[in-house]
């Protein structure tokens, strides 16, 4: 039996929901959210320590006058001990924007960075397409960050619960339903659960939208890919190996990403798709950039953000300020929908990472897929694959792979940013006010106790009232 302490109906600002026309050629959005790495931890030395490569350089450790306190992980090392995680540890790391509390917060193991020896495959994706160096997590753990990516807010600040819960009507899935857009949330095995979507009250009424990785691959082949897909390496009984969450081998997760990206590239959907590779939080790893405040909410550490699409700019570094709701903002912007809520309306939109109008010198606007395996990148044959770490030692020879277009031929700048938010052109909100609520589950024993207590109260209450009245008369 389920009882809620309170549930205020969601206020929705739109009454006539028709199938929207996308304002860009993107008809399908896929988000792949990995685990627990800061920008400087994975891309701190990208694209090289000595700036020898003539490609775009994001703001990272190469820009620091002195980064000797950061340990460059040697070849053959694909993991570190897990930094201390948590709301308190991350606030100590942040230290009110001084970014110097990592030893006190997440510990010495947080002061590390990977190099091309480990990150070559992911670096290649960033170079071939577009990367943002100003994407910020929330200043807390995994669950709140992932809820912000689905609902634009979180009722919890740590990895706990549920409860409290988010009403389904206050999620992006509800908004997509209202506008007749399809969605799918894909985990390794649905029968093993699908956290953190279990924080959404009413999600079980939409269980057909929550499926296994195998369904995502099948949808690519059968022509049934939803408009919006979340393909998640957490939940559904997935091993932490897939998510790159420390202290696991980061290459395993890279290979999983390579499989998914390759599958989309080879499918009929490549020409109409944007893939966003994101991370839920910094995991306690060092990052140098003090995070900003959005809508009065202090953001957390920078995290990697890669956009892959036939319309993604090659070798492009964006400095647009993004957060965990920016993919939601892109979805709302792309399909001409109102912002999911106020926070989403104020979140940066990664539109500058795409080129929707300028053709390349050969007259092509839609870029062709890249044959990842042809360049030796580790693309598994399945989404679940055996992994032999002894097979790999130094991956730096895999970076860089050849660019699709010469840098001199690109019809756009190699750096840029955008101040576009939905609030800059519209005040419409799908959810006017967010109202999380707490759910209580009663056991059979408690139900019988409450029933018996109610019967006793009903039986004795009239007598008690009569004695009370006589007492008052005296």
| Chain segment 184-234, per-residue pLDDT in tens | 999 999 999 888 999 999 999 999 999 999 999 999 999 999 999 999 999
Least confident of 170-184, 372-386, 450-464: 450-464
* Triad 415, 260, 413: Cα angle to 5°: 10
Give the least confident one: 11-20, 418-427, 431-440: 11-20
Token pair 């960033």 is found at 126
Q: How confident is the model at residue 3 (pLDDT cuts 50, 70, 90)?
A: very low
Kindly give, in sequence order, each residue whose CB lies less than 8 Å from that of residue 467, ignoring residues fewer than 6 positions away.
Answer: none
- Separation CA 346–CA 394 (nearest Å): 42
Q: What is the arithmetic mean of pLDDT over 88-99?
A: 98
**What mean pLDDT comes out for the span 147-163?**
91
Nearest to 38, CA basis, from 118, 129, 137: 137
Angle CA(112)–CA(118)–CA(123) in degrees, nearest 5? 100
Assess whether pLDDT exceeds 80 at residue 293: yes
How confident is residue 240, by pLDDT bands cut at 50, 70 and 90? confident
- pLDDT tens digit sequence for 246-257: 999 999 999 999
For residue 212, the SS3 value is: strand
Taking only the tens place, the pLDDT of each residue in 359-409 is 999 999 999 999 999 999 999 999 999 888 778 899 999 999 999 999 999
Among 213-227, 339-353, 404-418, 455-469, which is the least confidently predicted range? 455-469
Q: What is the pLDDT of residue 228?
A: 98
Predicted pLDDT of residue 18 = 62
Give the separation between CA 372 and CA 385, rounded to whole angstroms.
Answer: 17
Give residue 4's pLDDT. Answer: 35
Q: What is the average pLDDT value for the chain, to the nearest integer?
A: 91
224 DSSP 8-state letter: -
- Helix (H) or strand (E) holding 261, with range, is helix 250-265
Q: Among all chains, which residue has been given the structure tokens 């892959």?
A: 308
* Confidence band for 265, pLDDT divided at 50, 70 and 90: very high
pLDDT at 388: 81
Report the half-sphere exposure of 231 (CA within 13 A, side-chain side): 29
Inform me whether the pLDDT recorded for 427 exceeds 80: yes
What is the per-residue pLDDT across 5-62, written as a single tens digit (0 to 9) for each? Answer: 333 334 444 434 566 889 999 999 999 999 999 999 999 999 986 556 789 999 999 9
Q: What is the pLDDT of residues 49-66, one digit of tens each?
A: 655 678 999 999 999 999
Euclidean distance between CA atoms 45 and 30, whole angstroms = 27
d(CA 180, CA 171) in angstroms, rounded, equals: 15
112-113/439-441 β-pairing: unpaired
Please give the sequence-ordered ranges of beta strands (E in DSSP) within 303-444, or none if there are none: 305-308, 316-318, 415-416, 439-441
Q: 């890919």: which residue's tokens? A: 225
Q: Give the separation between CA 48 and CA 429, rounded to whole angstroms.
A: 43
Per DSSP, 437 falls in state: B
Mean pLDDT value across residues 241-265: 97
Place of tokens 């420390």: 246
pLDDT confidence band for 1 (50 / 70 / 90): very low
pLDDT (tens digit, 9 = 90+) per residue, 316-327? 999 999 999 999
Q: How far apart are CA 2 and CA 255, in angstroms?
A: 42
Determine what percent of the chain is predicted with pLDDT higher than 90: 81
| Residue 36 near residue 282, CB atoms below 8 Å | yes
Would you give the DSSP letter of residue 22?
P
On the question of pLDDT at 239 being above 90, the answer is no
**Average of pLDDT values for 409-438?**
95
* Three-point CA angle 445, 449, 453, nearest 5°: 170
pLDDT in the model for residue 50: 55
């Amino acid at each position: 039996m389920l009882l809620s302490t309170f549930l205020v109906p969601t206020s929705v600002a739109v009454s006539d929901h028709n199938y929207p026309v996308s304002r860009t050629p993107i008809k399908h959005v896929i988000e792949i959210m990995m685990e627990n790495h800061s920008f400087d931890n994975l891309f701190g030395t990208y694209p090289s320590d000595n700036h020898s490569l003539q490609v775009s350089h994001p703001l990272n450790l190469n820009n620091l006058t002195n980064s000797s306190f950061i340990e460059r992980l040697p070849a053959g090392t694909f993991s570190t001990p897990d930094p201390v995680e948590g709301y308190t540890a991350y606030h100590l790391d942040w230290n009110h924007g001084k970014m110097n509390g990592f030893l006190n917060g997440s510990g010495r193991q947080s002061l590390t960075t990977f190099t091309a020896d480990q990150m070559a495959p992911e670096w290649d994706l960033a170079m071939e397409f577009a990367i943002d160096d100003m994407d910020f997590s929330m200043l807390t753990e995994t669950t709140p960050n992932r809820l912000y990516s689905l609902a634009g807010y979180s009722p919890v600040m740590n990895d706990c619960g549920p409860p409290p819960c988010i009403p389904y009507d206050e999620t992006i899935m509800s908004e997509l339903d209202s506008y007749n857009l399809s969605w799918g949330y894909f985990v390794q095995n649905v029968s093993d659960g699908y956290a953190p979507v279990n924080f959404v009250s009413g999600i079980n009424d939409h269980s057909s939208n929550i499926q296994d990785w195998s369904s995502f691959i099948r949808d690519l082949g059968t022509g049934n890919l939803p408009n919006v897909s979340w393909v998640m390496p957490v939940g559904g009984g997935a091993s932490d190996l897939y998510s790159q969450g420390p202290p696991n081998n980061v290459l395993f997760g890279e290979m999983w990403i390579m499989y998914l990206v390759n599958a989309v590239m080879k499918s009929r959907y490549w020409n109409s798709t944007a893939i966003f590779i994101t991370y839920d939080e910094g995991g306690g790893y060092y990052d140098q950039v003090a995070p900003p405040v959005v809508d009065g909410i202090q953001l957390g550490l920078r995290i990697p953000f890669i956009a892959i699409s036939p319309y993604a700019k090659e070798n492009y570094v964006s400095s647009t300020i993004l957060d965990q709701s920016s993919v939601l903002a892109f979805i709302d912007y792309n399909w001409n929908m109102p912002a999911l809520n106020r926070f989403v309306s104020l979140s940066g939109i990664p539109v500058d990472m795409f080129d929707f109008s300028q053709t390349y010198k050969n007259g092509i606007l839609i870029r062709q897929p890249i044959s990842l395996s042809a360049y030796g990148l580790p693309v598994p044959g399945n989404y679940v694959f055996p992994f032999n770490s002894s097979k790999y030692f130094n991956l730096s020879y895999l970076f860089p792979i050849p660019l699709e277009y010469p840098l001199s031929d690109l019809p756009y700048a190699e750096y840029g940013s955008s101040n576009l938010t939905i609030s800059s052109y519209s005040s419409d909100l799908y959810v006017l006010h967010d109202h999380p609520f707490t759910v209580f589950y009663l056991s059979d024993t408690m139900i019988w106790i409450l029933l018996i207590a109610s019967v006793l109260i009903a039986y004795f209450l009239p007598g008690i009232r009569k004695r009370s009245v006589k007492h008052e008369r005296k």
